[in-house]
Every structure is written in structure tokens, then in C-alpha cells.
Structure 1
Amino acid sequence: MSLQFSVLASGSTGNAIYVETGKSRLLVDAGLSAKQMKLLFEKAGCCELDQLDGILVTHEHSDHIKGLGVLARKYKLPVYANAKTWKAMNGLIGEVDSEQKFEFEMESVKTFGDLEVESFGVSHDAAEPMFYVFHHEGKKLTLMTDTGYVSDRMKGITKHSDAFVMESNHDINMLMMGRYPWNIKRRILGDHGHISNEDCGYALNDLIGDQTKRIYLAHLSKDNNMKDIAHLAVKQTLEGKGFVIGEDLQLHHTDATVPTELVLV
């Protein structure tokens, strides 16, 4: 078995991604209730929850940690986060046994069986938000959402991945014409907010390599985006740079309640 993954849930209401190899099974974030997480694992055909080797945390916002404490306690799972995120989660996830708490610092690499996981910082309004690149037998999977922009450093770490789970949070016109108050709109549009459909496409243009085959558009806003709008915007941006969607690479949706198929990278 090579590197496989499923985007179990992605959106402003909850986020979770499952990654596995022949010897490793990891969950990135647990932004839904433990009951919902169990159902998503079953729908996607993942392992049993008590077979996980750990949960990796990106940051402390509720749509990423809602079910974290319950899952950790119920299934005795190790949890990995950087020191500032652990501090920020105090009072948010309940008590987690000290033997289950591990530090995974930004811009470091940890090995889980036959899987190497590289962490990198993003620009978001959290204590110390970071996402992950998974390396296995020459394959590379990048998870990157919850960032206001994609820096050159982030591009250097993540470029030429075989698959990307990439933020495509909002359509700018929908956001500007929508019901959110101006201070929330300003936060979303700012450098510590979320990237738009168009900016997702521009970033991907710099990240895609010859081996890139799959792109998953993730963390779509429930109020300020639609799957078809995100898909069209990113498709048009990439095709304007010469990529042929459906031939050179596949562009996939994610959903807030329906997991993607468990696929090989």
C-alpha cells in the first residue's frame, strides 16, 4: 500500500483529513464531533479510530479541534501540536492525559512508521498555525488551508507535490456583496485570513509540477463561495497558464459533510 488520503470534511463548519500508508495512519484535525468523525471514517473506508497512530493539529480554531479532546480521550490517541497551539487549546478541548500530548514544532519533520511529515507555517489569525507535507516512497502530499497568502517560503516547501489539498475559501464578489460586517470581510481578505478562488489558482500555478495529478479545493466558505464557482475560477486561472484540466491534472471538490474517496497519491 502506498500513500492514500481522504478529505473527510472541509469547510467553515469543520475540517478533518485522513492519511495512511502500509504502516501509518494519521488524522489531521478533528473539527467535527466524535460521533460525526466516526461516521466519516466509516463512509470513507478508513481504519478504525483506535488504530490511528495520532492526530496532527494545525491550529486551535474550533472548526479544526471541535472533536479533538473527545477522540483523544475515548480512543487513547496521541495528539501532536506545536507549543503555542497547545497553550491556545487550554480550556477548549478538555483534559488530555500528559502521556498523549506531544510537541510537533513548526518547520520540523517527524517520522511515523514509513511516513515522514514536514510541518510549515502559514499566515492566519491563530497562535502559531501550521500545515503539513507528507512524504512516502517518493510521493508528496501537501495540505494547505487557512492562510491569507502563500509566501515564497511556503511555495518552496510544498511545490511539485503529487497532490494538493488547497484552500479556495471565497469568491471575492460574493464576500463583498454578502451579509458579513465589514470587520469580518476585512479579516477574511487580509494577510491573516483566507485565500480566494483566484489567489488559489495563482498560487497553484507556481506549485504544480510534472508529477502533480490531483488538486482538491478545500475550506470553501458556506456563505461566500460555491463549488462550481470555485472550480471554474481555479480552472480558468490554470488553463490561462497552459494547464489542461482533466488531462494534465484532476481538479476535485471537497465537502463539509461528505468525505472524498480514499485515493492513492
Structure 2
Amino acid sequence: MAKAVPLFSGSKGNSYFLGTATQGVLIDAGRSCKQIENALLTNSIDPRIIGAVFITHEHTDHCSAVKVLASRYNFKVYASQGTLEALERANRLDKRFETEVIENEVAVGDMLIKRIDTPHDAAESCCYSVTLADGKTATIATDMGYMTDDVRNAVAHSNFAVIESNHDVDMLKNGPYPFVLKKRILSKYGHLSNPDCAAELAGLVQSGTLRLMLGHLSEQNNTPSIALNTAVNELSKYGMNRGIDYTLDVAPVETNAKSVIF
């Protein structure tokens, strides 16, 4: 049975498990090794069933544990060429584990993982879609200034998707961040806002992506209730009701032993 487990999400760190009871992969490893181990065990996932770790980009909240985690379990690490080079420069890689550039897609066990490039202020960022042996697909799509056609198409062909809903625009503009950082977040290489995310959801539900999760919420510039209400209100304009026509949750900052069966 295919499941997605949001281990961590947000500015403190990001990591997701996608797989089954016997095999899986990690998308990002943005907390400490111990924290990720504990989160996996909390969700009854043996770290030894993980076949590889896929890193979206080199920002610390997505890769801080990769060196220790991959060394401890001999995980193979996949990322774009630009991301691997950035990880190497930051001393986050180690000869004790393998790394490989993912150009398009790669098989890990019975799973097929596809790379989709994203517009973000990183060396060569991407997101990933994971298709399991039963044909079910999940996509984790965060850290992007806007939704590209390629990302939109990948999500629209998924059974489950995490979509970035990073910030409330007014909270960000009126918040404590310096102007340069605000400008970066609002740019086309920054992060999706709540309205940006909400505007995508009706089309996704219409396409058949009925299990949705909001991810990478800013702790300074957003709240789960604001993000959720923005999305639900937008979907209601199209006559779509949460819990009836679709499911929608917010990925937790800290793991809460809740997985999504898709």
C-alpha cells in the first residue's frame, strides 16, 4: 500500500518519506540525522528500507542531515548536477556513500522517481514525482517562485501531492524580514504564496488529484489556519468541498505519526 509521510516541513527543515511498508525513498533530509531517524521510527518506518535520498536543492533546510544520514545507512544520494556541486562545495557529501546525477528519471527498487525542475534561487533546484509498483504517484512540489507547466503537469498526474503554500503576502510585507529577503521571497525565484497555491488547486482537483497537502509554510509569515482557509475558500468558489470532493491537510513542522494513503 502506497503511503506518504511528511516527516518535517517548514523553515526549520523538510523531509518526506514516500513508499510502502517494505521500500521507500526520502525526499530531502533537512533536519538532523537523529531527528529524521526518530521521525521514521515514530511512523513505524525502518530506515533500512530506504533505497535512496533525493535532494531538491542545497539550502540547509533541505539537506542538513544528508552527509551523516547517508554515511550511516549507505544511502545513495540523487540530485541535479548543480545541486550536487553545491553540496560538494558546502562539504555535505562524503566518499562513504554514492551520489548520482538524476537527469530525468531513475528506478529505485520497484519505484520510479522523476525529476522536475523548479524556479528557485538555488544552483539547480527541482522537485520529484515518485511512482510506486502499484502505479500510484506522489509529487512533492515546494520551493518555487511560480508553478511551471512541467510541475503543474506532474502534480495533475499524481494521486497525492504536496504543494508549497509558503507565506501570507500581507504578513510577509508587514513582517520583520529585511527588504532584500522579502523581495527574494516574492520574486519568481522565491516561494509560492497562499493565493498562488490556492489558485492551482481547483484545476488539480478537476484533473483527479484529490489528496492534497500544503507544505513549506513559513513560521514567521504564515499560519496553518490562514493557509488552509485561503485554499478552502478558493476551492469553494468552484463548488468543491473539503472532505467530500478532496482531502486537504497541512504538512506538520514536526512529525505527528500521520501518513497519507494514496
Query: TM over 0.5: same fold?
Result: yes
- The alpha carbon displacement at 1:43 in A equals 1.4
- The alpha carbon displacement at 1:81 in A equals 1.0
Answer yes or no: is 1:63 the counterpart of 2:67.
no
TM-score by length of 2: 0.94
Aligned partners of 1:94 and 1:86: how far apart in 2? 9
Which residue pairs with 1:143 in the alignment?
140
Moved more, 69-78 or 135-144: 135-144
Give secondary structure in 2 for the equivalent of 1:124: coil
Aligned partners of 2:256 and 2:91: how far apart in 1? 24
Partners of 1:30 and 1:65 within 8 A in 2: yes
Q: How many residues align?
A: 261
Which residue pairs with 2:199 in the alignment?
202
Aligned partners of 1:13 and 1:245: how far apart in 2? 28
1:162-205: CA deviation from partner (whole Å, max 9, x where unpaired): 11111000001111110111111110010000011111011122
- The alpha carbon displacement at 1:93 in A equals 4.1
1:22-54: CA deviation from partner (whole Å, max 9, x where unpaired): 65311111000011111111112222x233111
Aligned partners of 1:221 and 1:118: how far apart in 2? 27
- The alpha carbon displacement at 1:99 in A equals 5.3
Structure 2: which amino acid aligns with 1:19?
L
Which residue pairs with 2:114 in the alignment?
118
Give secondary structure in 1 for the equivalent of 2:88: coil
- The alpha carbon displacement at 1:10 in A equals 0.3
Give secondary structure in 1 for the equivalent of 2:41: helix
After TM superposition, the structure 1 = structure 2 runs for residues 185-264 of structure 1, keeping only pairs within 5 Å, are 185-209=182-206, 211-259=208-256, 261-264=258-261
Moved more, 135-144 or 96-105: 96-105
Gaps of 5+ in 1: none
* Alignment partner of 1:78 out of 50, 62, 76: 76
Give secondary structure in 2 for the equivalent of 1:150: coil
Aligned partners of 1:95 and 1:178: how far apart in 2? 36
- The alpha carbon displacement at 1:104 in A equals 0.9
Aligned partners of 2:259 and 2:243: how far apart in 1? 19
Partners of 1:21 and 1:114 within 8 A in 2: no
1:125-159: CA deviation from partner (whole Å, max 9, x where unpaired): 00110001112323221110000000223212321
Gaps of 5+ in 2: none
Identity of aligned pairs, percent?
33
Moved more, 14-23 or 91-100: 91-100
- Going from structure 1 to structure 2, the CA distance change for 1:23 and 1:46 (only over 3 Å counts) comes to closer
Answer yes or no: is 1:134 the counterpart of 2:130.
yes
Structure 2: which amino acid aligns with 1:111?
A
Partners of 2:23 and 2:109 within 8 A in 1: yes
1:42-94: CA deviation from partner (whole Å, max 9, x where unpaired): 112222x2331110110000000011101011111111111111101124244
TM-score by length of 1: 0.93
RMSD: 1.6
Moved more, 73-82 or 164-173: 73-82
Aligned partners of 1:38 and 1:99: how far apart in 2? 18
